[in-house]
Structure formats: C-alpha cells, structure tokens
Amino acid sequence: MWFCYTGNGRLIGIVLVSQTTSGVLTFFGAAGDVMNEWATLDADFVALAKAKGCGSFEFRGRRGFLRTFKQFGMREKYTVMERLIDA
C-alpha cells in the first residue's frame, strides 16, 4: 500500500499495488486531498511500472479518476457493476 503525498506533504492518494504475471502493474486507488496534482501520481505510477519491468499499468477507481487521467493517456478498459442486496 502506498500513501502518495505532494511536495508540501498533503495526501493526494492511497493506492494498493499488485503485479500480474502478464507484466501489468495494477493500482487500486482512493482519493485524498486532491488539488490538481494527479500528474505527480501519473509520473510515480509510470516510474514504478518501469522499475518492475511492466509494459503498462492499470488504475482502478471511481469514474472521476478516468475524467482526470484521460489527459495522461488513460482509457477505460473495464466496466464494474454492483448490485446491493437487502439484509
């Protein structure tokens, strides 16, 4: 699990990292105090994927992440569905 901070120490994300056997690094994320500093996360994700020998990375989170990360070349790959069950 990574806690991602800006240069001034503000938390901008919490991510869980897993590497698949197909050379894809997968990030599961949750937002922190976001102030248009997602470029920091993108640069860190790219660097970590390269360091692990991965040719790509996936980031799984809310749809708002896709709107933000499109500018860095991310595309929608999966659709996640949920059904709530009454107790």
Is there a domain that residue 48 lies in? Answer: yes
The boundaries of the domain holding residue 65 are: 2-72
d(CA 48, CA 42): 10
Going by C-alpha positions, the residue among 43, 45, 73 that lies closest to residue 57 is 45
Give me the mean pLDDT over the 45-62 stretch. 82
Res 32 pLDDT > 70? no
Total domain count for the chain? 1
Q: Please, which residues have CB within 8 angstroms of residue 52's CB and are 6 or more apart in sequence?
A: 19, 25
Instruction: Specify the pLDDT at position 35.
Output: 58
Give me the mean pLDDT over the 53-82 stretch. 82
d(CA 15, CA 63): 16
Give me the mean pLDDT over the 15-33 stretch. 71
- The whole-chain average pLDDT of the chain stands at 76
Is there a domain that residue 82 lies in? Answer: no
